[in-house]
């Protein structure tokens, strides 16, 4: 008898729930009508709280204040600040006006700020005055002469900020209602700059329809209702904060809790306990830090039900601890990228623990995914590795002002090419095996750092590990493991790692070099910068 052919690595997300046809402002207004007295936003650092009715009043005042300054539909308004309530107010105020919010990385220095101001053509910049060692106000004045389109900057908490809100409260609210009627869900509303590990960052341009639906369906798969309270230690400037948190929360009438301006493990645990949060977000390094916090056991986390671990590959051992020690029985893994609003795949609450620790779930509602051979573009059979592509409502409008780079990422059939290596199993679950550019070719053999990292996580003394390729005269590339040790553990060496791996990992996959560090080089969103690791490894090893 002929054998049944293996199905191709393609899946589409069906749903009985239709896509939202709202603009972001309309969706907020809908939530306010449904839940006016429910708590919408808590800013723990400043001990401030907003109900939905109070949030809407401040959003409308800010929107009318911006309108009074002459901000028009399509104008770019930048925001450069750590997490704070004003960030959320600005996000929704610009959405109600149809102004395009340009989210700027709080870690940027002056030359990066100048690039974004000019590349996006920002007319008005909302910014913190300073944060930690960054003098934002000083850097803005430094770059301002070279940014001719920047007409005005407003510092959060300054007299200018207060005057903006005051002007809005005096204005005619019908002006804002008229502006909202002129908007459509397909209008561009947000520019987010990718991390720019190669060359200058690119500005992914996203519409109301892109990000509102993505936030909404992420929340749907987490079973969010108006009873949920979401602790958000991830940055708002990134999709994880502004879409998967703010938009997911407000589209369900839930509450967003800001534990601190930037990630602090103790403040995050304290916020969950004090605010009885039901959901907690983070990248793996954040959860690792929370689990290792010396006061972890003192915090009552019994309110937690769910949450999201995303942003970079999620180690299986860490996921098991989040479920077991933090009580997040329904925690989800989400996978995506800024260019796809961001989430393409997600685990479900009823997925087995094994599915949630070994895959990034299945395709989201109303989306398509496929795994292709990067060389031919053909969809590979399930079970075979290739490049993951995604298509649907979430794919960006394009890179701002860069049609050539857009065409390199989004093909003629509107498939977004992620650059990630993936394998789809027979049930449609996807496992991310690494980045195409992170794959190590040793003596002609393809090695995937993710697989080796997962094995090394099983060592009882390893807190965190990253594996990179380094140049080698004989084999082309060799493996190097960067390791963070658990408190009190003896540092591992290449010899002790080799002994641990012997007989359990193929010899070609055993790292030749081991480097023990306190911290990894990171982006502000908690992604490990492997490009910096490789450069530093070359220097350390004298290659």
Q: What is the pLDDT of residues 272-306, one digit of tens each?
A: 999 999 999 998 889 999 999 999 999 999 999 99
pLDDT at residue 508 in the model = 86
Residue 113 has which token pair? Answer: 């700020």
Q: What is the pLDDT of residue 197?
A: 43
CA 75 to centroid of chain Cα atoms: 25
* Domain range 24-423, CATH class: alpha beta
Residue 4 has pLDDT above 70, yes or no: yes
469-493 mean pLDDT? 93
Tokens found for residue 85: 């309530």
pTM: 0.87
- Band (pLDDT 50/70/90 cuts) for residue 199 is low
Q: Of 209 and 450, which is predicted with more confidence? A: 209
Token pair 């929704």 in the structure block, residue: 92
DSSP 3-state assignment of 31?
helix
Distance, CA of 35 to CA of 49 (rounded, Å): 15
Q: Maximum distance among all alpha carbons in the chain? A: 80
What is the average pLDDT across 104-129?
A: 94
* Assigned CATH topology for domain 439-541: GMP Synthetase; Chain A, domain 3 (3.30.300)
Range with lowest mean pLDDT among 6-15, 110-119, 193-202, 270-279:
193-202
Secondary structure element (H or E) that encloses residue 269, with its range: helix 265-275
At residue 475 the predicted structure's pLDDT band, cuts being 50, 70 and 90, is: confident
Above pLDDT 90, what percent of the chain?
A: 83
2: confidence class by pLDDT, cuts 50, 70, 90 = low
Helix axes 52-68, 85-97, angle to 10 degrees: 60
Question: Does residue 73 surpass a pLDDT of 70?
Answer: yes
What pLDDT was estimated at residue 1?
59
Domain locations in the chain? 24-423, 439-541
178 burial via Cβ count (<10 Å: 0-12, 13-18, 19+): exposed
Q: How many whole angstroms from its chain centre is CA 330?
A: 19
Strand order in the sheet with 306-309: 48-51, 39-43, 255-258, 229-231, 279-282, 306-309, 332-336, 343-346, 362-363
Per the listing, tokens 């958000």 go with 232
Q: Which of 189-203, 367-381, 525-539 has the highest mean pLDDT?
A: 367-381
């Amino acid at each position: 008898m002929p054998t049944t052919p293996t199905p191709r690595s393609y899946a589409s997300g069906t749903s009985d729930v239709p896509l939202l046809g709202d603009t972001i402002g309309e969706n907020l207004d809908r939530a306010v009508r449904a839940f006016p007295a429910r708590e919408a936003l808590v800013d723990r650092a400043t001990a401030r709280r907003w109900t939905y009715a109070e949030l809407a009043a401040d959003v409308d005042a800010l929107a009318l204040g911006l309108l009074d300054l002459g901000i028009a539909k399509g104008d770019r308004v930048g925001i450069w600040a750590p997490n704070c309530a004003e960030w959320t107010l600005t996000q929704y105020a610009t959405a109600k006006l149809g102004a395009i919010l340009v989210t700027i990385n709080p870690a940027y220095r002056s030359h990066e700020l100048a690039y974004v101001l000019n590349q996006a053509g920002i007319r008005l910049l909302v910014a913190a005055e300073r944060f930690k060692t960054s003098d934002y106000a000083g850097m803005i004045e430094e770059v301002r002469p070279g940014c001719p389109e920047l007409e005005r900057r407003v510092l959060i908490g300054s007299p200018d900020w207060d005057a903006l809100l005051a002007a809005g409260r005096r204005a005619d609210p019908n002006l804002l209602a008229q502006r909202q009627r002129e908007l459509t869900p397909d209008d561009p509303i947000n520019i987010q700059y990718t991390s720019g590990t190669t060359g200058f960052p690119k500005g992914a341009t996203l519409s109301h329809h892109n990000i509102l639906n993505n936030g909404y369906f992420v929340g749907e798969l987490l079973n969010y209702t108006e009873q949920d309270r979401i602790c958000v230690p991830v940055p708002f400037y990134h999709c994880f904060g502004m879409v998967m948190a703010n938009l997911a929360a407000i589209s369900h009438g839930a509450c967003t809790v800001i534990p601190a301006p930037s990630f602090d493990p103790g403040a995050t645990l304290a916020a969950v306990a004090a605010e009885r949060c039901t959901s907690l977000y983070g990248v793996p390094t954040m959860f690792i830090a929370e689990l290792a916090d010396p006061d972890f056991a003192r915090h009552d986390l019994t309110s937690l039900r769910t949450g999201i671990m995303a942003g970079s590959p999620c180690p299986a051992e860490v996921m098991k601890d989040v479920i077991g020690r933090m009580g997040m029985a329904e925690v989800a893994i989400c996978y995506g990228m800024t260019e796809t609003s961001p989430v393409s795949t997600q685990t479900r609450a009823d997925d087995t623990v094994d599915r949630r620790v070994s895959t990034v779930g299945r395709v989201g509602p109303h989306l398509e995914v496929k795994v292709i051979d990067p060389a031919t573009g053909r969809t590979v059979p399930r079970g075979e590795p290739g490049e993951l592509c995604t298509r649907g409502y979430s794919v960006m409008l394009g890179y701002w002002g860069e049609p050539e780079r857009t065409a390199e990422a989004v093909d003629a059939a509107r498939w977004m090419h992620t650059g990630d290596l993936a394998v789809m199993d027979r049930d449609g679950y996807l496992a991310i095996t690494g980045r195409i550019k992170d794959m190590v070719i040793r003596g002609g053999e393809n090695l995937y750092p993710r697989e080796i990292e997962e094995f090394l996580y099983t060592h009882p003394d390893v807190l965190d590990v990253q594996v990179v390729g380094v140049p080698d005269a004989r084999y082309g590339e060799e493996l190097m493991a960067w390791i963070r040790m658990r408190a009190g553990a003896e540092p591992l060496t290449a010899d002790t790692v080799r002994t641990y791996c012997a007989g359990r990992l193929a010899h070609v996959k055993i790292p030749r070099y081991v480097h023990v560090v306190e911290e990894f080089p990171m982006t502000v969103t908690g992604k490990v910068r492997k490009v910096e690791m490789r450069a530093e490894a070359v220097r350390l090893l004298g290659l």
